[in-house]
Amino acid sequence: MMAASPLLAPCICFQVHQPYRLTSYDFFQIGQRSYYEDDELNRRVFSKVAEKCYLPAAQFFRKLIERSEGRFRIALSFTGLVLEQMADYRPDVLDSFCDLIATGGVEVLGETYYHSLASLYSFAEFQRQINLHGAKVREVFGVEPRVFRNTEFIYSNRIATEVESLGFRGILAEGVPWVHPHSEANYLVKAPGTKAVKILLRNSFLSDDLAFRFTDKAWKGYPLNAADYCERLAGMHGQLLNIFMDFETIGEHQWRDPGTFRFWEEFVSMYLERGGEFVSPSMAVARFEVESDYDCSQPTSWAESERDPSAWIGNAMQKEAALKIHGIEQAVMETGDPRLIHSWSKLQCSDHFHYMNSRVGSDGLAHRYLSPFETPYDAYIYFMNALADLQIRVDRINIARSFLV
């Protein structure tokens, strides 16, 4: 009989994000109104999520971390947009995350400030947004991100190379089966040609058990209890267990269930009692050696069954919208107008393209649930109108500037 292998360390990472949803910006507003967001809606949604998720969950994890005496930890990746919303709409939420991070048991990850798809279109813009994000995280939390997590886990060899050149030690990615067998997700890997940046691949089974299947009554594992989940983790082989999901799943997206917090409390204490330990991405990168190359030449993501960026840029509307917004980068930058650049960048937020997703089925339902618009066509029409207005503002400034020269 084989001796029981030691418990692997779970590496738990949460994404924290809220978009700035747009208004029904119709043709008659073009050239008349240079503000595209629905403040009232955004404030309302943020407050709802704050009450149901951010405040109770931040407080809950602080308690878990403090009680564990340094053995339980998580990583959080905040978009710049959600940090702005916290400051504007609910400073109490920001305070509560600051308290959580002050425990020392939370690593803050790097990402794009605007939760954008810039990595697919422009390295210069990608880099600019990562730097902006780093500055924001330093300003708000006083910490330096060392490991990178791209928007929606969009990842490719090229992105790994670029992220390495910006000094990151690690990058989070979706482990897709056509690049790498699922059983290998528990080992650190690296992209061909990179040296310094290690890849942490999401264990989609363990992650989605908690993120999606937890409340699914049709699932054979339902209802999931902490003991069973610990058992499943204990049966795993490799270096570590990467469990990545949206922070909003706790209390908001899927888990309307009061049992959520109880589950986490039991799971963490059971795992610790059995002698397990939790690691942060930076700890994992420092502790483990890379096992093999992960050769991913086409961009992947964590979304839908395709696990590629097609949830955002799959149909003609999405492709055009994304191409057009990124196509004016140079002209926007030439204006040198910080407000205009900020408004352009906010339009890059991937959620806008997600609302234009016209797929049906269960993935389609998720789009309908999250979208502020009735149809993907409305989302496209209003986005393109807003973009048209932005373009007019850009042209106006650049023409005026050309006379000055």
Partner 1 sequence: MKRMRVLMLGWEFPPAINGGLGVACHGLAKALASQVDLQVLVPQIDRDVPRDGFELRGANEVTLQDLAVTEKHYRYESFSEVEFIPVSLDPYTSEEAPLKKIVPGTKEWVEFSQTTSEDITLLGNGDLYGDDLGMKVIQFSKIAAKLALQSDFDLIHAHDWMTWLAGVEVKRVTGKPLVVHLHASQYDRAGSDARGWIYDLEKIGMTEADRVIPVSHYTGRVVVSHYGIESAKVRPIHNGAEPVSRYRSRRRFPEKVVLFLGRLTAQKGPEFFLEIAGKVIEREPAVRFVMAGKGDKLRQLIETGAFKGLGGRFHFTGFLAKEKVNELLSMTDVYCMPSVSEPFGLSALEAAQFGIPAVLSKQSGVAEVLQGALKADYWDTNLMAEHIVHLIRDGELRDKVVKQAAIDIKAATWDAAAGKVMSVYHELLS
> What are the residues binding partner 1 (CB under 8 A)?
26-28, 30-32, 315-317, 319-321, 323-324, 377, 380-381, 384-385, 387-388, 391-392, 395
Is the distance from CB of 242 to CB of 11 less than 8 angstroms? yes
Q: Active-site residues: which are they?
A: 152
CB of 32 to partner 1, least distance (A): 6
Q: Which is nearer to partner 1, 28 or 369 (CB)?
A: 28
What is the token pair recorded at 170?
A: 């690690």
Q: Which is nearer to partner 1, 132 or 397 (CB)?
A: 397
CB of 395 to partner 1, least distance (A): 8
CB of 37 to partner 1, least distance (A): 19
Q: Which is nearer to partner 1, 132 or 328 (CB)?
A: 328
Cα separations in angstroms, 354 against 236, 311, 380, 383? 34, 6, 10, 12
What is the token pair recorded at 402?
A: 């050309």
Q: Which is nearer to partner 1, 127 or 358 (CB)?
A: 358
What is the token pair recorded at 288?
A: 């483990």
Q: Which is nearer to partner 1, 25 or 264 (CB)?
A: 25
CB of 334 to partner 1, least distance (A): 18
Question: For the packed helices 376-404 and 316-327, what is the interaxial angle rounded to 10 degrees?
Answer: 20
CB of 364 to partner 1, least distance (A): 15
Is the distance from CB of 360 to CB of 321 less than 8 angstroms? no
Q: Which is nearer to partner 1, 26 or 99 (CB)?
A: 26
3-state secondary structure of 243: strand
> In sequence order, which residues have a C-beta less than 8 Å from that of residue 125 and are 6 or more positions away?
116, 118, 326, 329, 348
Residue at 7: amino acid letter: L
Is the distance from CB of 169 to CB of 196 less than 8 angstroms? yes
Please, where are the H alpha helices in 166-236? 204-211, 226-234
CB of 10 to partner 1, least distance (A): 43
State the Cα–Cα distance between residues 13 and 300, nearest whole angstrom. 18
- Which of 35, 25, 15, 27 lies closest to 342, judged by CA? 35
